[in-house]
Amino acid sequence: MGANISQLERDIGSDQFPPNEHYFGLVNFGNTCYSNSVLQALYFCRPFREKVLEYKAKNRRTKETLLSCLADLFYSIATQKKKVGSIAPKKFIARLRKEKEEFDNYMQQDAHEFLNFLINHINEIILAERNQAKTAGGTGSGGGGTAGGKGGGAAAANGISANGNGTVNGLDGGYGTGNGGSSGSTNGSGNTEPTWVHEIFQGILTSETRCLNCETVSSKDENFFDLQVDVDQNTSITHCLRCFSNTETLCSDNKFKCDNCCSYQEAQKRMRVKKLPMILALHLKRFKYMEQYNRHIKVSHRVVFPLELRLFNTSDDAVNPDRLYDLMAVVIHCGSGPNRGHYISIVKSHGFWLLFDDDMVDKIEASTIEDFYGLTSDIQKSSETGYILFYQSRDCA
Instruction: Give the end-to-end CA distance of the chain in Å, rounded to a whole number.
Output: 30
User: SS3 helix, strand, coil % of the chain, rounded to 5?
Assistant: 30, 30, 40
Catalytic residue among 22, 33, 198, 334: 33
Q: Is 15 exposed, middle or buried (0-12, 13-18, 19+ CB in 10 A)?
A: exposed
Interatomic CA distance for residues 296 and 286, integer angstroms: 10
Angle formed by the axes of helices 33-43 and 66-78, nearest 10° = 60
In the chain, DSSP finds a helix count (H) and a strand count (E) of 8, 22
Confidence at residue 376, expressed as pLDDT on a 0 to 100 scale: 87
pTM value is 0.85
Would you call 342 a catalytic residue per the annotation?
Answer: yes
- β-bridge mates for residue 25, sequence order: 86
Integer-rounded Cα Rg, in Å, for the chain is 22
- β-bridge mates for residue 17, sequence order: none
Q: Name, in order, each residue with C-beta under 8 angstroms of 35's C-beta and a sequence gap of 6 or more.
A: 26, 89, 92, 93, 96, 103, 109, 111, 114
Catalytic residue among 121, 283, 333, 342: 342
**How does DSSP assign 51-114, residue by residue?**
HHHHHHHH-TTPPP-HHHHHHHHHHHHHT-SSSEEEE--HHHHHHHHHH-GGGSSSS---HHHH
Interatomic CA distance for residues 192 and 194, integer angstroms: 6
Tell me the CA distances in angstroms from 116 to 32, 162, 289, 351, one per residue in order: 16, 11, 20, 28
> Using CA of residue 92, residue 338, residue 201, residue 45, what is the dihedral sign?
positive
Burial 43-53 (b: 16+ CB within 10 A, else e): bbbebbeebbb
Confidence at residue 366, expressed as pLDDT on a 0 to 100 scale: 95
Residues of the chain with pLDDT under 70: 1-6, 138-192, 379-380, 397
Confidence at residue 161, expressed as pLDDT on a 0 to 100 scale: 61
Contact between residue 333 and residue 286 where contact means Cβ atoms under 8 Å apart: yes
Confidence at residue 163, expressed as pLDDT on a 0 to 100 scale: 63
Contact between residue 307 and residue 353 where contact means Cβ atoms under 8 Å apart: no
Closest CA to 343 of 327, 328, 355: 355
Mean pLDDT of the chain: 85
Amino acid at 95: R
Closest CA to 122 of 92, 91, 163: 92
Options 1.10.238.10, 3.90.70.10, 3.40.640.10, 3.30.565.10; CATH of 5-165+191-396: 3.90.70.10
Would you call 33 a catalytic residue per the annotation?
Answer: yes
pLDDT tens digits, 245-259: 999 999 999 999 999
Closest CA to 281 of 348, 329, 221: 329
